[in-house]
Amino acid sequence: MENMNLNRHISGQFNAELDDIRNRVLAMGGLVENQLQEALNALVSLDAELAQRVIEGDHRVNGMEVSIDEECTRIIAKRQPAASDLRMIIAISKTIADLERIGDACVKIAKAALDKRLKNQQPLLVSIENMGRHATRTLHDTLDALARMDAEVAIELHREDKKLDSEYEGIIRQLMTYMMEDPRSIPEVLDVLWAARAVERVGDRCQNICEYIIYYVKGKDVRHTSYEEMKNI
């Protein structure tokens, strides 16, 4: 009887630890989502103060990644989880790495907002704003799927990256045309290009997180897998 009570106690502690890291990764996701929104707002409005706040806030994202990753390592070493519990921890460990990289993308966008020369390039910023809103929605929906571990939604969201890639290609064509028409604009247009690239990378990271969700729920590694193949898993 004492052994049964001990097993229940250990199991209860383990479940509490898993719940804790799930909550912490979602909190990190909320912080990164806010960073992305503020970075885009700073770029569109060329708000240097807001941009600087985003840049300075990146240390919080980095700190959360380190602490959650350390907790994942501790749980693996102490609990030696198997099956779905192990997949959960692996998915979380990979997810926080991608969230940290989205945080880095936010910093790149914010740094572009510090370029005062972009005041003359407002039409170019409109395209990035539209793409950025799409990326923000995708990140929000991805985090929602992560919270619910909804593989079906993750499969559908996985396709959003192609749409973002298409928008990015359109912006590149627009920027190339602009630079050819006015070579003097090249320095500031390059800043816009780097910002657009950073937004595009957000889509890549969201796609990765969707793959981790599918891996946890389905037990299958779906990297380099087509949409049709994912649907049939």
CB–CB of 101/30 below 8 Å? no
Distance CA 181, CA 190 (A): 14
Longest dimension (CA), the chain: 82
Identify whether the C-beta of residue 73 lies closer than 8 Å to the C-beta of residue 89.
no
pTM for this one?
A: 0.91
Residue predicted with more confidence, 71 or 2 = 71
pLDDT in tens, 96-121: 999 999 999 999 999 999 987 777 77
Percentages helix, strand, coil for the chain (3-state, rounded to 5) are 90, 0, 10
| 64-84 pLDDT per residue, tens | 999 999 999 999 999 888 888
Domains and their CATH numbers in the chain: 2-231 (1.20.58.220)
Specify the amino acid at residue 229.
Answer: E
Span 85-95, average pLDDT: 95
d(Cα 103, Cα 34) in Å, to the nearest integer? 10
